[in-house]
């Protein structure tokens, strides 16, 4: 028996748990509060996509397959149902990493039944030469599962999706009416599986308080279904909702019907609100009324009215106080790694088991005009000390057996990334990690090399609209040229780059959309971007644009007749330009799909659209020209110098010229892949060897560039001449870093 049951309702990810419940459980551990967590989504998927589960699906729809009303694709799958039932358990165990030898059979193309999703393979044969057999088999197995998903959507439950369920009901739901009406209907097939698992877990855990974390619109319907079932069959259990969806959508909640399902809705950081709920529900005598209790950022029903209570005088916990996320209770060895697109960077979101951590609460930039920067989860910036963060990494490795980390920051701060990288290297940790960044000039070549050395394999970041005018309007704080340089630094160091792109930003012209596409084409063509995603601009209520639309040339539409009682975030609007930006969606995404696979760069931009577009005004060599500009060689005196290589082997010899002889030293550095040799006058070689030991990255001692210069000039002259000489430039390219 546990006091608290933490639930992530269906569906989020197949390959790794969404971290919210693990964060909360880690915090509750620091307060000695017993809890149990479950990812209901993965448990439903595992039951549905099993031999028994598929057999039940096919039996459930027996007689529903009609040649006149059913697509040929679903007819094909139904006809091959025995093949799907026979292979499903083996495919799932393979995707769980437990049956690697099956890859050969899957790749034979004579093992899995194939339907429409496999049609795209003709366009992707290029990838299989560079994909390993395991990844290739994962991709085939993913297509197989997507075929089954298409079948379920058409025949069984139109709201099904691997990473979302009934998402439409949660998107921009200004009114609760449609969702409420849906909840009065009979259970769907997926509901039946969900609630059966929930029933077993409730009876096992017997909680007093259930916390449902709802990060996305695609979790909302299932959260309400779960709450509805608990209210009916376990009315004494109290139920609360928190997470990304209520944090952004339900800040002005007024609809009393919501509290037929939930007792509490909490906003923003969940630690203190949950601690107070625990006191009120699990520790307080039942005779005490809610009016006498303390709450933090919590909606509840009082005297038949929706009340927002924030009457606690306690401050939120610092990031150093919330503890290490705890992934216990979750089925960590049963998550499914899938590869939807044969692109190494793009696959990170669905392939591999990642421990999720945050380097900093909020965003250190906090200026982008499209972002919800007025909300505390972005506005309140608080970094975590590097030592604390790496301590948590070590704890999670010990707990989960996994050394892969996804830092889920709004934008990871470069200075903190540097300190974390140094700490990882000094502790000799072997980890693999990736995160989200801003493409700012702090990401120098040297910093990128350091990040790679510490295990960083990829970053994602917002390029948004690849137009300097619009980037300035967005207050992004970067230029296209700067993005080109940063992505080049990352790529050359071996770190993959994913860019988020936006179209339809207020006042954006058709010409700017086409020019933005040309910028993106060139970035992919020169190889500094590996992956990307286009999305159409959406105006939200808590962004600077949403708060002051007239300043940005947009006119909000009155989408509700009267007061908004339920979700209030996305705002419909009319751009004063009158352009229908939605018509560019297909062409932008189709071109990007090809660019991500390294093809079709020679196509005219017009080829991607079935309507007339203007010719781009961007020079065909714009990005190359940006990258060819001379680098700034000046070094800040306060910059720290580190050596990430090993100790050299010295070989002394004498050099003579015109009757003059002097001592020379050959320094040989053996590195993981290559061997570096440089030749220096012996005095300089001895000085360099001594100082490389001092500034070795494994030491906590560090020297600034100014200190290094002063040390050199105590016995020798012209440090700048020495620093920019060919031998030192060779070392600079091989691990002598200035940060």
Q: Write the DSSP assignment of 395-451 as a string of letters.
A: HHHHHHS--EEEE--SS--HHHHHHHHHHHHHTT---EEEEEE---TT--HHHHHHH
Residue 384 CB neighbours (<10 A): 21
In angstroms, rounded to a whole number, what is the distance separating the alpha carbons of residues 617 and 519?
10
Is residue 342 in a domain?
no
The list of the chain residues with pLDDT below 70 reads 121-131, 171-173, 284-291, 558-563, 631-633
In angstroms, rounded to a whole number, what is the distance separating the alpha carbons of residues 589 and 392?
39
In angstroms, rounded to a whole number, what is the distance separating the alpha carbons of residues 8 and 245?
12
For tokens 């590195």, the residue is 671
In three-state secondary structure terms, 538 is coil
In angstroms, rounded to a whole number, what is the distance separating the alpha carbons of residues 455 and 434?
8
Q: With the CA atoms of 488, 493, 495 and 501 taken in that order, what torsion angle do they form, in degrees rounded to the nearest 10?
A: -10
In three-state secondary structure terms, 270 is coil
In three-state secondary structure terms, 579 is coil
In angstroms, rounded to a whole number, what is the distance separating the alpha carbons of residues 102 and 141?
11
Residues 622 and 647 in one domain: no
Is residue 542 in a domain?
yes
H-state helical runs in 184-308: 189-205, 217-233, 244-249, 271-278
In three-state secondary structure terms, 360 is strand
What does the DSSP 8-state code read for residue 495?
Answer: -
Is residue 184 in a domain?
yes
Query: Total domain count for the chain?
Result: 3
Which among 587, 590, 598, 439 is positioned nearest to 513, based on CA atoms? 587
Is the pTM of the predicted complex or chain greater than 0.85? yes
In three-state secondary structure terms, 17 is coil
Is residue 338 in a domain?
no
Enumerate residues 6+ apart whose C-beta is below 8 A from 676. Answer: 645, 668, 669, 730, 731, 734
Which among 531, 456, 473 is positioned nearest to 500, based on CA atoms? 531
Do you know the residue count of the chain? 739
In three-state secondary structure terms, 679 is strand
Handedness of CA 452, 456, 457, 458 (dihedral sign): negative
Q: Are 471 and 478 in contact (CB under 8 A)?
A: yes
In angstroms, rounded to a whole number, what is the distance separating the alpha carbons of residues 97 and 650?
47
- Residue 87's φ and ψ, nearest 5 degrees, are -100, -15
- Residue 544's φ and ψ, nearest 5 degrees, are -55, -35
Q: Are 237 and 32 in contact (CB under 8 A)?
A: no
Residues 381 and 464 in one domain: yes
Is residue 272 in a domain?
yes
Quote the tokens at residue 457. Answer: 């394999």
- Residue 186's φ and ψ, nearest 5 degrees, are -65, 155
Residues 12 and 76 in one domain: yes
CATH code of residue 375: 3.20.20
Is residue 328 in a domain?
no
Residues 676 and 610 in one domain: no
Which strand ranges, in their side-by-side order, compose the sheet holding 675-681?
649-657, 660-670, 675-681
> Which residues lie across from 539 on neighbouring strands?
571
H-state helical runs in 267-342: 271-278
Quote the tokens at residue 677. Answer: 């040799």
Residue range of the domain that includes 653: 640-738
Residues 310 and 404 in one domain: no
Q: What is the pLDDT of residue 129?
A: 53
Last residue in a domain, options 295, 319, 343: 319
Residues 358 and 421 in one domain: yes
Residues 610 and 676 in one domain: no
Q: What is the pLDDT of residue 287?
A: 42
Enumerate residues 6+ apart whose C-beta is below 8 A from 672. Answer: none
Residues 135 and 237 in one domain: yes
Last residue in a domain, options 274, 300, 319: 319
For tokens 């880690």, the residue is 26
Q: Are 570 and 171 in contact (CB under 8 A)?
A: yes
The per-residue pLDDT for range 12-39, each reduced to its tens digit, is: 999 999 999 999 999 999 999 999 999 9
Enumerate residues 6+ apart whose C-beta is below 8 A from 329. Answer: 25, 36, 37, 38
What does the DSSP 8-state code read for residue 65?
Answer: -
Last residue in a domain, options 585, 606, 628: 628
Residues 649 and 615 in one domain: no
Residues 582 and 668 in one domain: no
Q: What is the pLDDT of residue 211?
A: 98
In angstroms, rounded to a whole number, what is the distance separating the alpha carbons of residues 433 and 409?
13
User: 47 to each of 51, 188, 328, 578, how far by Cα in Å?
Assistant: 9, 15, 21, 49
Instruction: Find the helix or strand (DSSP H, E) in which 591 lies.
Output: helix 585-596
- Residue 356's φ and ψ, nearest 5 degrees, are -100, 130
In angstroms, rounded to a whole number, what is the distance separating the alpha carbons of residues 605 and 283?
65
- Residue 502's φ and ψ, nearest 5 degrees, are -130, 145
In three-state secondary structure terms, 301 is strand
First vs last Cα of the chain: how many Å apart?
A: 52
Q: How many helices (H) and strands (E) does the chain have?
A: 27, 25
| Cα 164 to chain centroid, rounded | 16
Report strand pairing: 209-213 vs 4-8. Answer: parallel
Is residue 719 in a domain?
yes
> Which residues lie across from 470 on neighbouring strands?
none
Residues 51 and 125 in one domain: yes
Q: Are 537 and 571 in contact (CB under 8 A)?
A: no
Residues 429 and 478 in one domain: yes
Which among 375, 406, 388, 390 is positioned nearest to 318, based on CA atoms? 388
In three-state secondary structure terms, 170 is helix
Is residue 95 in a domain?
yes
Q: What is the pLDDT of residue 561?
A: 45
């Amino acid at each position: 028996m546990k006091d608290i049951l933490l639930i992530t309702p269906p569906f989020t990810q197949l390959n790794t748990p969404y971290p919210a419940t693990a964060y909360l459980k880690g915090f509750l551990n620091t307060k000695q509060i017993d809890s149990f967590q479950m990812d209901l989504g993965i448990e439903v998927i595992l039951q549905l996509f099993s031999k028994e589960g598929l057999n039940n699906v096919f039996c459930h729809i027996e007689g529903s397959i009609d040649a006149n009303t059913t697509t040929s694709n679903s007819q094909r799958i139904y006809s091959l149902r025995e093949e799907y039932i026979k292979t499903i358990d083996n495919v799932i165990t393979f995707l769980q990493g437990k049956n690697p030898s099956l890859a050969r059979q899957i790749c034979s193309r004579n093992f899995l039944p194939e339907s429409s999703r496999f049609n795209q393979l003709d366009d992707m044969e290029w990838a299989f030469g560079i994909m390993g057999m395991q990844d290739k088999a994962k991709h085939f197995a993913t297509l197989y599962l997507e075929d089954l998903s298409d079948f379920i959507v058409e025949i069984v439950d139109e709201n099904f999706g691997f990473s979302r369920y009934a998402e439409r009901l949660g998107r921009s739901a200004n009114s609760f009416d449609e969702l409420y009406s849906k909840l009065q209907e009979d259970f769907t097939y997926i509901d039946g599986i969900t609630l059966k698992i929930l029933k077993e877990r409730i009876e096992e855990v017997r909680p007093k308080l259930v916390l449902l974390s709802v990060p996305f619109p695609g979790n909302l319907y299932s959260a309400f279904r779960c709450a509805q079932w608990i209210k009916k069959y376990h009315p004494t259990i109290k139920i609360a909702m928190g997470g990304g969806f209520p944090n952004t959508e339900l800040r002005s909640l007024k609809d009393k019907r919501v509290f037929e399902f939930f007792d509490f809705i909490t906003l923003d950081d969940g630690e203190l609100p949950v601690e107070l709920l625990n006191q009120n529900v699990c520790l307080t005598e039942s005779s005490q009324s809610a009016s006498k209790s303390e709450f933090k950022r919590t909606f509840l029903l009082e005297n038949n009215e929706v009340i927002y209570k924030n009457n606690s005088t306690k401050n939120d916990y610092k990031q150093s106080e919330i503890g290490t996320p705890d992934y216990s209770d979750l089925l960590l060895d049963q998550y499914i790694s899938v590869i939807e697109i044969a692109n190494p960077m793009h696959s990170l979101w669905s392939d591999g088991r990642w421990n999720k951590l945050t380097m900093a609460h909020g965003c250190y930039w906090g200026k982008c005009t499209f972002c919800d920067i007025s909300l505390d989860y972005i506005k309140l910036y608080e970094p975590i000390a590097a030592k604390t963060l790496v301590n948590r990494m070590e704890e999670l490795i010990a707990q989960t057996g996994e050394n892969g980390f996804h830092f889920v920051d709004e934008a990871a701060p470069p200075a903190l990334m540097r300190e974390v990288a140094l700490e990882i290297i000094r502790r000799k940790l072997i980890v693999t990690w990736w995160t989200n960044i801003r493409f700012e000039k702090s990401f120098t070549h040297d910093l990128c090399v350091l990040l790679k050395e510490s295990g960083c394999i990829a970053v994602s970041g917002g390029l948004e609209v690849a137009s300097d005018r619009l980037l300035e309007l967005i207050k992004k704080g970067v230029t296209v040229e700067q993005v080109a340089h940063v992505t080049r630094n990352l790529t050359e160091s071996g770190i993959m780059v994913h860019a988020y792109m936006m179209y339809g930003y207020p006042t954006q012209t058709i010409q700017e959309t086409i020019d933005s596409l040309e910028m993106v084409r060139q970035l992919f063509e020169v190889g500094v971007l590996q992956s990307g995603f286009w999305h159409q601009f959406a105006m939200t209520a808590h962004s600077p644009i949403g708060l002051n639309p007239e300043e940005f040339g947009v006119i909000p539409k009155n989408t509700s007749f009267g007061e908004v009682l339920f979700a209030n975030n996305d705002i419909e609007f009319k751009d004063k330009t009158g352009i229908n930006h939605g018509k560019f969606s297909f062409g932008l995404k189709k071109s990007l799909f090809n660019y991500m696979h390294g093809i079709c760069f020679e196509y005219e931009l017009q080829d991607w659209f079935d309507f007339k577009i203007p010719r781009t005004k961007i020079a065909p060599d714009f990005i190359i020209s940006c990258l060819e500009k001379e680098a700034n060689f000046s070094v800040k005196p306060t910059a720290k110098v580190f050596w990430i290589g090993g100790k050299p082997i010295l070989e002394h010899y004498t050099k003579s010229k015109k009757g003059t002889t002097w001592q020379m030293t050959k320094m040989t550095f053996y590195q993981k892949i290559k061997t570096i040799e440089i030749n220096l006058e012996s005095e300089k070689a001895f000085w360099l060897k001594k100082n490389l030991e001092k500034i070795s990255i494994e030491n906590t001692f560090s020297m600034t560039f100014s200190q290094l210069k002063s040390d050199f000039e105590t016995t020798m002259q012209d440090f700048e001449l020495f620093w920019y000489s060919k031998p030192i430039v060779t070392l600079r390219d091989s691990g002598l870093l200035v940060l």
